[in-house]
Structure 1
């Protein structure tokens, strides 16, 4: 079939795709041999499941939809930024729950969204920028340091100080979404 894209561009993109696919297959083989069913896999699984169980038990049910929307926003943005950091060569992960993108499921899909949902519930009328700073400091210097010590997170060209404004901004975005007054009931 004739395409608008030049055949040369298609072939070059195909070569890159093949190299990426081969690397992903090699990593999956390594993961099956060296991570699956080992301590780091089990810890990652616990870090993926426990936050959501805690949230189910301690969430404010009357605010559940707003909190989930804010948490989902955190999940989407943080996993996208995480992906960009990895492809830029700024960091990588070991001990992965899954040998795929998203990069580190417990962090992007569980710990960050659940933590932000809990922080949003605490003193909901408190100063959002102050809560954002506390969230950022605890996440960057607590969470990232712990994961670095575990060997799960390996920064290459990244400093925790770079994470601070990003985490503050992410919290403020989630706060704004959780406090939107545009929620109307569904009509049919």
Structure 2
């Protein structure tokens, strides 16, 4: 049996303890200051309402491929958001549920649903143009507005850094949205 270096095991255990302590601190803050505030209600709504809208307006025959494209967008945006948070580039000032990451309303709802709606509306328009519009809106409208109302906290990040990332995320999802062979999975 392979042995684990005890100093590494101890260091990892200390980090685990710090993570646990940070979670308990977050839970206390959430229970005492966040849950049921207007920020919380807006974030909870942003987690659910885009999906309700999408279910109502989607083209039913395109559901599978749009969901696949939305899933690609969700995974990519969540991964990049996790990186940004872990590297201290930005943060979020509200938490919907303390056991899930604070970017869930954005990466699991707003971004993929908006992308799926873009894929569905005017499908013949050049995807690069749509990606540019999507990324301009995300970078220079959505981020600043949500920073202004206190949901998002830029630290070592500038809005224009997001432009090529959002552009690429949109195009990755578009690749799957345009594949007819994904229609009947």
TM-score, normalised relative to structure 2: 0.95
Equivalent residue for 1:103? Answer: 102
Structure 2 residue 66 is the aligned partner of structure 1 residue 67 = yes
Name the Cα RMSD after superposition.
1.5
Q: C-alpha separation between the residues in 1 aligned to 2:121 and 2:23? A: 41
Q: C-alpha separation between the residues in 1 aligned to 2:21 and 2:2? A: 26
What stretches of structure 1 of length at least 5 have no aligned partner? Answer: none
- Structure 1: which 4+ aligned runs deviate by more than 6 Å? none
Q: C-alpha separation between the residues in 1 aligned to 2:152 and 2:93? A: 7
Equivalent residue for 1:175? Answer: 174
Question: Structure 1 pair 76/22, CA: closer, same or farther in 2 (3 Å)?
Answer: same
Equivalent residue for 2:16? Answer: 17
Count of residues paired in the alignment: 185
Q: CA deviation at 1:109?
A: 0.8
Larger mean Cα displacement after TM superposition, 175-184 or 92-101: 175-184
The secondary structure found in structure 2 opposite 1:154 is: strand
Greater relative CO (CA pairs within 8 A, separation 6+) = 2
Q: C-alpha separation between the residues in 2 aligned to 1:14 and 1:97? A: 28
Question: Structure 1 pair 14/182, CA: closer, same or farther in 2 (3 Å)?
Answer: same
Larger mean Cα displacement after TM superposition, 74-83 or 150-159: 74-83
What stretches of structure 2 of length at least 5 have no aligned partner? Answer: none
1:91–1:153 Cα contact (<8 Å) kept: yes
